[in-house]
């Protein structure tokens, strides 16, 4: 009897380890990326420095470049790495707001779904029960209407993106509901930032022209010190202002819907 109990216990431990393996692999890869500092390549400065090289490569290999961009975006989201906003801006900058925004929405949805499935299979509801009050705040909303609440969280970033990716998997949200809510919910914000990314091209081009003019003066014996830097203040372009105005309108949608439902006569 004792031997049978021990065998059952060992099987249970192996099963638990098997369920946790995808989560452990994901966490290990994320730790490796962060420890090596590879995530630091996802900056506006890096984008500005490699502008000409990237544009030339995309001109020659557009499809491959799009696939590479989508792959990087999926990995960044799946590993919950910082830099999602920079990548979205880069998508608009490199491919245009329509193509860049569309690929970003698809890639972000795939990356988020990877986290969802791993959380659902590796941790699930038992982990949610021990997660404390921070997850309880989300539980009530998902129990009332999972799709509407997920759409609200995607449209209005009350919680970090990685948390909204993870929590539904712990709280029993169905896969179809999660994919639909994520895909639709991130469209407005994604296209707003992709549209803002279009304005980066003129900013980077202007700063590069200034840098090259400085180099020309220095070569002529002017004795100037030239450095190609990217000023974040230069991002305040008309495109960016329009994009954030669009995000502001998006943020008002849930409020307007709630008011409409209150004012609507009972059927």
Q: Which DSSP letter does residue 82 get? A: S
Q: Check residue 180 and give its pLDDT.
A: 93
3-state secondary structure of 79: coil
Q: Check residue 211 and give its pLDDT.
A: 74
Neighbours of 208 (CB within 10 A): 16
Q: Which DSSP letter does residue 171 get? A: T
Neighbours of 146 (CB within 10 A): 18
- The pLDDT tens digits of the residues spanning 20-69 come to 666 667 667 667 776 766 566 677 777 877 888 898 999 999 999 999 99
pLDDT, averaged in runs of 10, over the chain (267 residues) = 56 59 67 67 75 89 94 91 86 92 96 89 58 62 77 77 83 89 89 84 74 75 64 58 63 62 58
Q: What kind and span of H or E run contains 15? A: helix 2-36
Q: Whole-model pTM above 0.85?
A: no
Which of 253, 137, 115, 122 lies closest to 184, judged by CA? 253
The whole-angstrom separation of Cα 164 and Cα 113 is: 11
The whole-angstrom separation of Cα 100 and Cα 195 is: 9
Cβ contact 192:244 at 8 Å: yes
Q: How far from 177 is each of 49, 169, 183, 190, 218, CA to CA, in Å?
A: 41, 11, 10, 20, 60
The whole-angstrom separation of Cα 117 and Cα 23 is: 10
The whole-angstrom separation of Cα 25 and Cα 17 is: 12
Q: Check residue 215 and give its pLDDT.
A: 75
Which of 160, 154, 163 lies closest to 190, judged by CA? 154
């Amino acid at each position: 009897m004792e031997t049978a109990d021990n065998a059952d216990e060992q099987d249970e431990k192996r099963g638990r380890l098997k369920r946790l393996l995808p989560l452990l692999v994901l966490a290990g890869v994320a730790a490796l990326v962060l420890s090596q500092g590879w995530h630091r390549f996802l900056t506006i400065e890096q984008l500005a420095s490699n502008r000409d090289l990237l544009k030339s490569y995309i001109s020659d290999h557009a499809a491959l470049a799009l696939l590479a961009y989508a792959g990087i975006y999926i990995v960044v989201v799946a590993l919950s790495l910082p830099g999602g906003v920079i990548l979205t801006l880069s998508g608009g900058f490199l491919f245009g707001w329509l193509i860049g925004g569309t690929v970003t929405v698809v890639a972000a949805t795939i990356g988020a779904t990877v986290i969802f499935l791993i959380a659902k299979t590796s941790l699930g509801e038992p982990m949610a029960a021990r997660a404390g009050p921070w997850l309880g705040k989300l539980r009530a909303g998902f129990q009332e209407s999972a799709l509407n609440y997920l759409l609200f969280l995607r449209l209005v970033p009350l919680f970090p993106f990685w948390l909204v990716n993870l929590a539904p998997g712990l709280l029993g949200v169905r896969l179809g509901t999660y994919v639909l809510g994520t895909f639709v919910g991130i469209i407005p914000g994604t296209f707003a930032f992709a549209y803002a990314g279009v304005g980066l091209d003129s900013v980077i081009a202007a700063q590069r022209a200034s840098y090259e003019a400085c180099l020309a003066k220095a070569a002529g014996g002017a004795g100037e010190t030239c450095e190609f830097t990217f000023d974040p203040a230069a991002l305040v372009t008309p495109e960016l202002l329009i994009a954030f105005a669009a995000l502001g309108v998006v943020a008002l949608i849930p409020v307007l819907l709630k008011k409409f439902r209150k004012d609507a006569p009972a059927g």
